[in-house]
Structure 1
């Protein structure tokens, strides 16, 4: 039976109430040893009129009919269930878990509110359950005992059913035990109290009024919850909307024609550069050899010799010939790779360990992946390696200390150089005592060492890159520019106002900061531990954009007044995690547009922070000045209109293992960016408190028109306060700034002279 009207529903409920009272009284008399058969019949006749008894009997018959209908429906559903083809395996698993949940609520995997069962049979089965198991119910109508969630489910505005329809199987006619039912919620939780239930049973008008009131309350609650969700979403970022910050593709300024100059080396034919076509090396098919201290010593150089035994006990052989023959001999296992590499690195045969490479091939990859690696990727990498004399045809200049010089090469040339790094072919680069001791490592031998899980994930990420470039070679260019400054702003006398700030606790520099100037929290040896154990911000960026790694081949360690700017690298991988939790996820297709030089509009600046052994050390005036100068060096572009400068995408620079204070570093970067004429997009990497603190201070300072010079003087004043404590300051930096600006919004810059050159100034306020 389907309940078609409210009166019919009340008749059924009234019948249930009648039987409930009868059954309870019968049970009480039985417990006292009385014969209750005739007495119960008499009490029943006295309690209700004959019309009411007839209504009760009709209701019971209707309930039995409804039960029969419901059972037939469930049998039909049971027959259909095995044939049901679900689109998503996750959906099936979710339903299985929910069907065993005692609360019985269906929880959608997408987090949406569960919907109320649409079939009336599920609701009627609750009513049948009430009528057939009276001994579990109390004759008194009170909220804690009688007004069960089953009765409430009859109301169209009541909460979602606590019993999942999937639980109503072969024992659907039997009520669940009272212990398994969820208690009725407190009236304060927007559910009906006992007076509302009573009114519903006795007065249709009151019932409708109650329903309207409940619906209104529900809507208000939903609206309030929606507002809270919106507020939470809004607090994920503060300040200027990121869409309003400038990006590279928004500039109308075009680049001049690409050409080689005295301080810009270009390794391709610029006159033949075309979009979508592989750049032509320059010179073509003619390798220019060089073996000096101004260029990279190439593996294919004729001066790269290898000692061999001869009849007279000594002899030299071309190392390049040995490399080519060893790699072309065929690589069928990780042991073959090891033997090939050691054959031309015999001096390191007893030290180099290839455990990580072996673990990758035996445990880290599926069998089909291993087969593809040895049948496809490695042979293509070998071919790319041995073609170095045809691909990289002129000497590669070293970007040495104190030199403002740029180098532009093709992505294919970079792929060739990285393949050589993988097979450890670069000479004089395997010892810290060599002539390249002030350069980062480039050969990958340390990447193959040990069985650390992070090494396996690193290798997966790099092999994803090699698979991509050996399958379809990218056609763009990449520029590496070493920039050093000899003159810096006089920070204490700067009248520059802070620029706009977007700050967020979500997102990443590489994703949300696309086409901005993206900061690499670098080591002075660029790339840090990317070929070793390191796996934090810089190493991760070098892994997902492997073309950055080749900068280690020719970039000498950075000085305090220098930075490295890389334009045009491509992202090849997606990842998750950080440090030990880092995992390679999947291939990534970079859709960043290219500029006129066929470079991706991805500009990354490597800024090395200082490492602090003691917390207070970083507040010394010369240390703060150093970081200001370093950031300014990376942000400034002399001769470029600030309107043609993209925003800086940065974050907690030097605040991890280097011990930097996040609030100080954020403020220093804001000051440097303002002086360079750039807005800032700041990523706190999940730190919501830092997001609010930096935003609030930035707003406070901008509203009061506090200049960069004033801030610099206040930082020096704070250094004086800090020197009075041994370990930690008594006053927080931001608290000090709030107090000083509020009491004296324009302090005099009388903290001592500032040197405009690269050497930071000394001051009476320092802590040395």
Structure 2
């Protein structure tokens, strides 16, 4: 059987350097929905040997222009060995889209410069987003189509059945706390760190987070860096407690601890120009001291380094909110070694940078207003944990769909799931359902830079989610990351460039028996389509379907009632996804998984009405998963002629199989 190959080359100029992006897609002409692997979809991003850290969507540099202290790749004075590089390169998978750090797939500012060989967007497809920033905070009027939200099963009404922590015998699940059982009658009881043999366990290798307290963290001069960090943080803490700390002291402390120079214009603008005198005084004298304490005691609070959630690992880590706070304090002071180095072949080329140096970076202007507002949200979290440390638990879980569990799409007789469609709700406000994070494959997207759309906003109003940047390697097409139990601390208004921190938010979400908020979020990354026409080709549709099913699937061993999934216009902003196509793909995935779907259209009433019209038609036709897949298979040759919804409404299910 013959194969056809389409090559799309994308060139853009970024900071006066050429970034060449070559996308090679190989697919079989057979009309069959199947798992897309690295041999089917390959994308390479090169920038003169250095991994692209910022998108060609927005011409904003996120590099550290003042890195002067050291010239070696790592601030502990070590070079990555050739054996390690070879090992990493051997295990690398090609990705489906280039890294985009500043704006992820929902960004309004996204512009893609298609080359002369790109296929033109057919006139029947929408080429711009219909996001309405003027009415972004419009109150929910309660209107919807389909099943009432109150009738969709959720985990707050039916909490999942959990084994006691002490009974878990999974080598891939790491607990940083002693076995803990939440008692609603004793809500102030705190989880305790789990110590093996009563002492801190040090790990310093590529399978664990390299903590700054490790004895193996050595400067290029051969001395341990932790005593340097301790001395610098202790000095800053004393200045804070005596109300003598200034912005320059924070800057000097971070640079001394990291052994690098950074630019702090965004942080300086917030503290010295935007905060009121009382706000600045409270941060400098109280919050800053607590951050120093949390970082200084990371070895006592965390008991051991958490494992990295690497590609294909199916690993899980459970920790307390206090442990997350300690790790985030370390990130504030930019203490995590090697993470700034993301060159091709380096140890962390496939990881986001969890350190706050890029969040503090603001250029000559001090940073755009929405970046300042993101920083306000994170600092509000630091204020809250200083007032009272939360005592809950959270879990970060990486999951890879086994190939044996990939459905036989063209044979599936699963009926359509229940659906609720509305326009004025936000995903984070629909409690008890699996909430979809429209993620970048590098989790967090542009949260540490200037990105300020769905994923980035969620991560700053729930800053404990930033721990995933510390743990998670880039996601592959059949992988996702679950973030369970992260608390929300801030409310906000606006979106993208209009985003603003609003006020304190009290998260009333109930807890499960482990002490985790019954808030389950899944990071689901979409393909970035530089050529919009590409998404209507079968390999790309297959990839997105596998990704959505990976996120929605519940293992057969779980016998609890299947709760709903709340999602929306996934990948339909700067990633150029087609809303109608993504709606049908997610409907297929949810139906195959047997889970109800709450679909939020982000103020798009036309999509509410048109999607439900299609859903009603398919329901009346008694369509199944295999029928929806057949629609997509035939539509791959027709997408230039008419929109997908029109094609479905004009085509009976019976005619698909005649």
TM over 0.5: yes
Distance in 1 (alpha carbons) for counterparts of 2:180 and 2:505: 31
Distance in 1 (alpha carbons) for counterparts of 2:530 and 2:411: 31
Say whether residues 1:362 and 2:256 are aligned partners. Answer: no
Say whether residues 1:448 and 2:366 are aligned partners. Answer: no
1:240 is matched with: 147
What is the CA distance between 1:490 and its match in structure 2? Answer: 1.4
2:498 is matched with: 581
Distance in 2 (alpha carbons) for counterparts of 1:600 and 1:234: 28
What is the CA distance between 1:640 and its match in structure 2? Answer: 4.7
Say whether residues 1:561 and 2:471 are aligned partners. Answer: no
2:313 is matched with: 403
Say whether residues 1:711 and 2:628 are aligned partners. Answer: yes
1:282 is matched with: 194
Greater fraction strand: 2
What is the CA distance between 1:643 and its match in structure 2? Answer: 5.7
Distance 1:602 1:693, change over 3 A: same
Check conservation: 2:203, 2:214, Cα contact below 8 A.
Answer: yes
SS of 1:650's partner is strand
What is the CA distance between 1:273 and its match in structure 2? Answer: 6.2
Check conservation: 2:140, 2:424, Cα contact below 8 A.
Answer: no
Check conservation: 2:180, 2:191, Cα contact below 8 A.
Answer: no
Say whether residues 1:302 and 2:212 are aligned partners. Answer: no
Check conservation: 2:160, 2:560, Cα contact below 8 A.
Answer: no
Check conservation: 2:461, 2:491, Cα contact below 8 A.
Answer: yes
Distance in 2 (alpha carbons) for counterparts of 1:269 and 1:611: 42
SS of 2:574's partner is coil
What is the CA distance between 1:493 and its match in structure 2? Answer: 1.5
Matches within 5 A, 1:438-517: 438-450=350-362, 451=366, 452-487=368-403, 488-511=406-429, 513-517=430-434
Matches within 5 A, 1:180-191: none
SS of 1:690's partner is helix
Structure 1, unmatched stretches of 5+, are 1-231, 308-314, 723-728, 750-768
1:42 is matched with: none
What is the CA distance between 1:642 and its match in structure 2? Answer: 7.0
Check conservation: 1:272, 1:280, Cα contact below 8 A.
Answer: no
Distance in 1 (alpha carbons) for counterparts of 2:375 and 2:455: 16
Matches within 5 A, 1:602-641: 602-640=519-557
Question: What are the Cα deviations for residues 27-81 of structure 1, in whole angstroms up to 9, with x where unaligned?
Answer: xxxxxxxxxxxxxxxxxxxxxxxxxxxxxxxxxxxxxxxxxxxxxxxxxxxxxxx
User: Structure 1 residue aligned with 2:257, among 304, 323, 344?
Assistant: 344
SS of 2:219's partner is strand
1:82 is matched with: none
Matches within 5 A, 1:536-547: 536-547=453-464
What is the CA distance between 1:636 and its match in structure 2? Answer: 0.6
Question: What are the Cα deviations for residues 127-182 of structure 1, in whole angstroms up to 9, with x where unaligned?
Answer: xxxxxxxxxxxxxxxxxxxxxxxxxxxxxxxxxxxxxxxxxxxxxxxxxxxxxxxx
User: Structure 2 residue aligned with 1:316, among 205, 222, 241?
Assistant: 222
Question: What are the Cα deviations for residues 169-210 of structure 1, in whole angstroms up to 9, with x where unaligned?
Answer: xxxxxxxxxxxxxxxxxxxxxxxxxxxxxxxxxxxxxxxxxx
SS of 2:503's partner is strand
SS of 2:650's partner is helix
Distance 1:746 1:594, change over 3 A: farther
What is the CA distance between 1:344 and its match in structure 2? Answer: 2.6
Check conservation: 1:236, 1:688, Cα contact below 8 A.
Answer: no
Question: What are the Cα deviations for residues 464-523 of structure 1, in whole angstroms up to 9, with x where unaligned?
Answer: 101111211111110111110123111111111111111101111111x10100000001
Q: How many residues align?
A: 499
Distance in 2 (alpha carbons) for counterparts of 1:663 and 1:429: 39
What is the CA distance between 1:730 and its match in structure 2? Answer: 2.0
1:170 is matched with: none
1:733 is matched with: 644
Question: What are the Cα deviations for residues 290-339 of structure 1, in whole angstroms up to 9, with x where unaligned?
Answer: 111111111000011124xxxxxxx4222111112112212512111111
Distance in 1 (alpha carbons) for counterparts of 2:275 and 2:458: 23
What TM-score do you get using the length of structure 2 for normalisation? 0.74
Distance in 2 (alpha carbons) for counterparts of 1:423 and 1:247: 39
Distance 1:475 1:634, change over 3 A: same
Check conservation: 2:358, 2:449, Cα contact below 8 A.
Answer: yes
Question: What are the Cα deviations for residues 343-400 of structure 1, in whole angstroms up to 9, with x where unaligned?
Answer: 1333x32xx2100111001111101100000011000111111000101112311111
2:566 is matched with: 649
SS of 1:580's partner is helix
Check conservation: 2:565, 2:595, Cα contact below 8 A.
Answer: yes
Check conservation: 2:311, 2:475, Cα contact below 8 A.
Answer: yes
Check conservation: 1:570, 1:590, Cα contact below 8 A.
Answer: yes
1:421 is matched with: 331
Distance in 1 (alpha carbons) for counterparts of 2:571 and 2:190: 38
What is the CA distance between 1:255 and its match in structure 2? Answer: 1.1
1:720 is matched with: 637
Distance 1:508 1:272, change over 3 A: closer
What TM-score do you get using the length of structure 1 for normalisation? 0.63
Question: What are the Cα deviations for residues 696-754 of structure 1, in whole angstroms up to 9, with x where unaligned?
Answer: 111110111111111111111111123xxxxxx2211111111112xx535229xxxxx
What is the CA distance between 1:276 and its match in structure 2? Answer: 2.8
Distance in 2 (alpha carbons) for counterparts of 1:345 and 1:690: 49
Greater fraction helix: 1
